[in-house]
Amino acid sequence: MDSVVAFAVFGVDWEFFKPYIVLGLALGGVYALSGVGIVVLYQATGVLNLAFGAIGAAGALIAYWMINHTSWPHWLAYVTCVAFGGVVNLAYGLFFGPAFAARDPLVKMMGTLGLALILLGLMAWRAPVGGAFARFLPLPSSSHTFTVFGAFVNWTQVIALVFAIALTVVTTAFLRYTNLGTAYRAIANDREITATLGVPVRRVEASAWFGSGLVAGAAGLLLPDLLTSLDYAALTFLVIAALAAALIGRLQSLWVTLLGGLAVGLAQALFAPYASITQYRSAAPFVLAIVALLWLSRRRVVTITRTAR
């Protein structure tokens, strides 16, 4: 019966819809946690990190190399992938953060684009496309599966979704209830005044760079498994969907970012069964971001004032 209803409403058999929901939620989870990582860094430093995906991709390639070319344990490769994200992001923040601190947000953002391009170039150099065979970075969790209403689910997909929710909860609590979280919020309001109050701004910012980088590394570890192959270009452009999620949250709300990420993932997956629009699925992040921004700002009144000189 549900199959008939689904076919009548959606034009697709319910049996075919179920796997797309699972795929969409899992991918949406990664978009959401990436979005949260981007928003937290933006809040603390004013930097919109366009290198988020590239950092995760580079970490994933290192993990791939460790697993396939050394006898080191796999867990070490996974830890390295996550740690690489934290270290690279931290290094960038320490070296370029102070220099960019007083610059326009657009300049700060373009600086991270430079980092993304450097990492992309390094990956293309050390791990060129081609070479005849695809790269895989499977996690042990993906070999354990179960079914929900007849849809195949593996534990990596569960981890992606649960991790996104957990990260949002923990980060929200962290920002609200810890001294460091309060410092983040203070810096977001006014960096200079916060500094004059004795808050070690650089150290606080460094912690944001490091934490956000760890999330980038985790996303880089999860995504190759969810996408079934390690394509560093695809991982690098993960930042697009993550940015859409962050924009839906207006770079402020972690919970709306979480929902935005899940919505982007679901939209991309649920358009797949429709032959007429499936090839436009990649536009889903932008369309959703624009619709959400229009909806969220519908009651705002635009005022134009002239500042007296």
Partner 1 sequence: MRSTKTIIGVLAASCVLALMVTGWATGAGDKTTATVGSGKASATKSVCGLGTGKKATGRPIKIGGIGMLIPGVDFTTIGKVAKAYFDCVNDNGGIHGRPVQYILYNEQLNPAQQAALARKLVESDKVVGVVGNTSFTECGTNWKYYKAKGFVVIGAGVQAECFGTPSIVEVNMGPRYSNIGAAQALVRAGAKSIVVASPSTIAAYADGGAIKVAQAAGIPGKSVPVTLPVTDANTIVQQLYQAAGPGGGIILDFTPDTAPALMKAAEAQGLIDKVKWGSSTPIANTFMAGQFGKWDGKLYINSEFGLLDPSQGPDTRLMLDVLKKYTKIDPQAFAQMGFMAGKFSTIALLNVKGPVTAKSYNASVRKLKNIKTDMICKPWYVGNALPYHIPNNWDITVDYKGGKVVLKEKCFAIAPVDKEVAQTRVWEKKFKLNTGK
Q: Which of residues 131-190 bind partner 1 (CB under 8 A)?
A: 131-134, 136, 138, 142, 145, 152, 154
Binding mask 97-136 toward partner 1 (x if CB under 8 A, else -) reads --------------------------------xxxxxx-x
Are residues 31 and 242 in contact, defined by beta-carbon separation less than 8 angstroms? yes
**CB burial class (10 A; 0-12, 13-18, 19+) of residue 79?**
middle
Q: How far is the CB of 165 from partner 1 (least distance, A)?
A: 21
Q: Which of 3, 70, 189, 229 binds partner 1 (CB under 8 A)?
A: 229
Q: How far is the CB of 118 from partner 1 (least distance, A)?
A: 19
For 152, the 3-state DSSP assignment is strand
Q: Which is nearer to partner 1, 110 or 138 (CB)?
A: 138
Are residues 44 and 188 in contact, defined by beta-carbon separation less than 8 angstroms? yes
Are residues 103 and 42 in contact, defined by beta-carbon separation less than 8 angstroms? no
Q: Does 6 bind partner 1 (CB under 8 A)?
A: no
Q: How far is the CB of 277 from partner 1 (least distance, A)?
A: 12
Question: Which H or E run contains 163?
Answer: helix 155-177
Are residues 136 and 67 in contact, defined by beta-carbon separation less than 8 angstroms? no
Q: Which is nearer to partner 1, 160 or 183 (CB)?
A: 160
Q: Does 234 bind partner 1 (CB under 8 A)?
A: yes
Q: How far is the CB of 6 from partner 1 (least distance, A)?
A: 13
Dihedral over Cα of 296, 40, 117, 263: its sign: negative
Binding mask 246-285 toward partner 1 (x if CB under 8 A, else -) reads ----------------------xx--xx----xx-x----
**CB burial class (10 A; 0-12, 13-18, 19+) of residue 248?**
buried
Q: Which is nearer to partner 1, 23 or 186 (CB)?
A: 23
d(CA 191, CA 183): 10
Q: Does 21 bind partner 1 (CB under 8 A)?
A: no
